Amino acid sequence: DAKTTQPPSMDCAEGRAANLPCNHSTISGNEYVYWYRQIHSQGPQYIIHGLKNNETNEMASLIITEDRKSSTLILPHATLRDTAVYYCIANPSGGSNYKLTFGKGTLLTVNP
C-alpha cells in the first residue's frame, strides 16, 4: 500500500472549515484514498473514500488532485466534537485490502 504523509497536528476554530491535507505521491492506480478518524477513547470511524473524483457525504468532502498524489479532507463547519485524530490511507481494491493500517494521522483540535 502507498505510504501517506500527514501533518502531525492542526488547529481550527469552531464553525470554520477544517482542511486536512494528505500526501500519497506513490499511490497506484487501483488504490483508493480512505479517511478515518478516531475520537479519544473511541474506535475509529469511517469518514469517506474516493478514487479520483471528488466525493461528498454528510460528514465531509474529499478533494483529490488530478495527479492523485495528494488529497484534502474538508469538514465544512467544524464543531468541538470533530476534535480527533484523522487518518488518511491508500487502500487497494481487492486482495487483502481489508487490513487497515493507520499511520500517525493528524490530530485536529477544534477550538471554541
Partner 1 sequence: GAGVSQSPSNKVTEKGKDVELRCDPISGHTALYWYRQSLGQGLEFLIYFQGNSAPDKSGLPSDRFSAERTGGSVSTLTIQRTQQEDSAVYLCASSPARRGGLNNEQFFGPGTRLTVL
Cell numbers found for residue 100: 487497515
Residue 12 or 91: the one with the smaller Cβ distance to partner 1 is 91
Q: Are 26 and 79 in contact (CB under 8 A)?
A: no
CA 15 to CA 12: how far, in whole Å?
A: 9
Minimal distance in Å, beta carbon 99 to partner 1? 4
- Classify residue 36 as exposed, middle or buried by CB count within 10 Å of its CB (0-12, 13-18, 19+): buried
Residue 12 or 62: the one with the smaller Cβ distance to partner 1 is 62
Q: Applying CB under 8 A, does 96 fall inside the site for partner 1?
A: yes
Q: Applying CB under 8 A, does 45 fall inside the site for partner 1?
A: yes
Kindly list the residues in this chain that would bind partner 1 in the complex (CB under 8 A): 32, 34, 42-46, 49, 91, 93-104
